[in-house]
Amino acid sequence: MLHGRLQGRPATERVPAAAPLLEVFGRQHPGADAELDWLRSSYRVAEFLHGDQRRRSGTPYISHPLAVATILAELGMDVSTLVAALLHDAVEDTEYTLGECRVDFGAEVARLVDGVTKLDGKRLGKDVAERETFRKMVLAAGADLRVLLIKLVDRLHNLRTLAAQPPHKQVRIARQSMDLLVPFCDRLGLYRLKREMEDLAFLYLNPQGHAETAAAVAIDRKARDAYFVTVGKQVRSALRKYRVHATVTARPRHLYSIYEGTKDRPTALSPGRVCRIVIVVEGDERDCYVALGAVHAAYAPLAGRTRDYIAAPKYNLYQSLHTSVVGPHNERIDVLVRTTSMQDVAEDGIAAAIRDLGRSGDHANAGESARHRRDLAWLQGLLAWQGEQPSEQYLDELRTELLGGSIVVVAPNGDLVTLPEGATGIDYAFARGGHVGDRLFSLRVNGMLAPVTAELNNGDLVEALTTERATPDKEWLGAARTARARRGLRAIFDLETDLDNGEIEQG
């Protein structure tokens, strides 16, 4: 229970430090007076619990959970998520317990706080605690994706304030962020968070590359801005001819994206390297295709550069039409076309889906319901091997699993199976569960026989051919892309070894 001196204080008592958080929440959720009172109360509790604690920068520790909660409020998250964000370090860094949190704020908030609370590094050892903390977080996200949102925003704020840390810690946190947290942002479609997180990590991992890229972007900025003013006018004129109402903006690429996409590291950058044109139509999907036609009528499209992520959305909810065209002065320009609702998801991904559920009144089930979207089948794949025995390679396996994008293939019964890019028939077989992987001997892809090591492509119709007499080849391990397939194969080979050594009695 809360300390006695907090009891009886009015819920409406002013808390000046929390004013920005309350203002953002009130703007996102007008009329939610009871929730505002709860937010004030939880802030006072968090402020009291952290007391005189200071961050390495010397600022009061409460500034960190307050900042995390405010960023989440800007994403439109519900009050339970914000309360959990305010308390997310309390169990770890104060004498406050989960039991007290459950009594004071309810089971939902306590579950979210528990999901992001680190395990005891002194008791388990630093490496084991880090590995098992990530395992715990992924398992908790399997029940409620808001756990992962809190963790990602927590890391984003830590990166914003990383200058206060010693250099070795800056590099360690930045590297872990780039390897694990950025891929989670990508998988959840949190592109706004992803862009900032990548740029902040880039700053500490490659200061010279960061500085050189920023300097290259600064060159000819005025001329580039003028160039996109011209392009914007021409695109708007083309859209009007096709009677499409839309906003047209030049969106700058973030520094890390420019750095990664510029192989020769020039001292100056073409306009298309620095900005894209984003068209947000005031209409439905059909208007997007009309807008695409208008752009192609105005500028010649580059062959093979048009992608339709509206008819076939990405694995992380993202929808847009992509094209590349030849603009004025023969400059290549990338153009994205989407609706207003697609724009929200393109920036905030699963957070947009969760806040939409929350605004419809389904606060309690927002995160849990969003998890079951078919678009997030990759999360179920992660969960499939989370509960196995602890492994020293766990974080490496998680990095590998999150690396790159995803594809979706179709099973004979019509099921959609999400796999990582580069996945083979072996990965598909083990993803199907049961004894499919154990009994695999061949593959049929789009009606044609194929080796089990064949790499699959997005949209393939895949059938695993099985027999009880199957004998998996040890070379399959090198072709397996997913941790689930590799673990399944190792289990088969270990069993065969035990049988050969007579270590298992056979009936």
Model pLDDT for residues 101-116, shown as the tens digit of each residue? 999 999 989 999 988 8
* 93 is an active site residue: yes
What pLDDT, on a 0 to 100 scale, did the predictor assign at position 506? 40
pLDDT per residue over 436-462, tens digit each? 888 888 899 999 999 999 999 888 899
Find residue 440's DSSP bridge partners: 466
Asked whether the domain spanning 405-500 has the same topology as the one spanning 220-339, the reply is no
Name the more confident of 433 and 101. 101
Residue 119 has pLDDT above 60, yes or no: no
What pLDDT, on a 0 to 100 scale, did the predictor assign at position 87? 95
4 band by pLDDT with thresholds 50, 70 and 90? very low
pTM of the model: 0.82
What pLDDT, on a 0 to 100 scale, did the predictor assign at position 404? 65
Residue with tokens 């200058």: 163
Task: Check if the beta carbon of residue 431 is closer than 8 Å to that of residue 481.
Answer: no
What pLDDT, on a 0 to 100 scale, did the predictor assign at position 365? 56
485 band by pLDDT with thresholds 50, 70 and 90? confident
Between CA 253 and CA 192 the distance in angstroms is: 11
Strands 275-281 and 300-301, sheet pairing: unpaired
* 92 is an active site residue: yes
Q: Tell me the CATH architecture of domain 4-117.
A: Orthogonal Bundle (1.10)
Residues contacting residue 502 through CB under 8 Å, at least 6 positions apart: none
Tokens of 269: 């950058």
Cβ atoms within 10 Å, residue 284: 10
Lowest mean pLDDT among 31-45, 55-69, 240-254, 406-420: 406-420
Name the more confident of 279 and 381. 279
Please give the share of the chain, as a percent, with pLDDT higher than 70. 82
pLDDT per residue over 141-157, tens digit each? 777 888 889 999 999 99
The domain ranges of the chain are 4-117, 220-339, 405-500
What pLDDT, on a 0 to 100 scale, did the predictor assign at position 498? 47
| CATH 3.40.50.880 for the 405-500 domain, yes or no | no
Name the more confident of 172 and 138. 172
Query: Which residue among the candidates 13, 23, 33, 92 is catalytic per the annotation?
Result: 92
If you average pLDDT over residues 262-290, what whole number do you get? 87
| CATH 3.30.460.10 for the 220-339 domain, yes or no | yes
Rg of the chain over Cα atoms, rounded to whole angstroms, equals: 26
Phi then psi for 281, rounded to 5 degrees? Answer: -85, 145
Mean pLDDT of the chain: 84
If you average pLDDT over residues 269-293, what whole number do you get? 95
If you average pLDDT over residues 466-470, what whole number do you get? 83
